[in-house]
Chain A
């Protein structure tokens, strides 16, 4: 079964850091880009960024809202992607999803076709 499972969420104080993990199974992890998406309570979806597969350089891209605070990385040998979140703010409280995307000519062409169940991050003192 193709699956993504997020972990690492929880309660964290403002200004602290947190690292989320996304563990993949059922497919060749290294062939896909991985993207992180979040959803604040009662709000819409917000794309945070992505990391391309190694054949496309493994490069990253980020939304302007998190560019200087969040970092996405991947370990293809373990089929895990990470979202490092620094200097957390109360407005970062959300459900965080990891997703996969298949690429064509350097862009995610087939949409984000597999989603994890999400992990909840609460930033509060």
Chain B
């Protein structure tokens, strides 16, 4: 199976900060990379598919980039409601998830 490695595992940032989360695949997955947001006690919510395309209704402060093995999720201006855990996932083979990044607001 493909391994997905996310970093950092957690971060703390202030409202308005630019936040970047990285995700690395153990082999090339082209652009079959998706990002999800999960708030405590809730089901995950899809944010980005195909590495850089926003799901419908997702705020434009979220963006994704990358191809091959290295990908990033960026929140351009962190908002209080962005406090959550974020997961990357490959959909090239068996839908493996990264370990998650917990984002906290200072």
B63 at the interface (CB under 8 A from A): no
**A45, A97, A111: which contacts B49 (Cβ < 8 A)?**
A111
A-B contact number at CB 8 A: 77
CA A45 – CA B38 in complex, angstroms? Answer: 10
Count chain B residues whose beta carbon lies closer than 8 angstroms to a beta carbon of A: 26
Residues of B that sit less than 8 Å from A by CB: 1, 32, 34, 36, 38, 43-46, 48-50, 55, 85, 87, 89, 91-100
Say whether chain A's binding surface is mostly helix, strand, loop, or mixed. strand
**B36, B91, B97: which contacts A107 (Cβ < 8 A)?**
B91
Contact code string A94-115 (vs B, CB < 8 Å = 1, else 0): 0001000100000111111101
User: Within 8 Å CB of B43, what residues of A?
Assistant: 97, 115-118
With both chains docked as a complex, state the minimum distance between the C-beta of B77 and any C-beta of chain A, in angstroms. Answer: 23
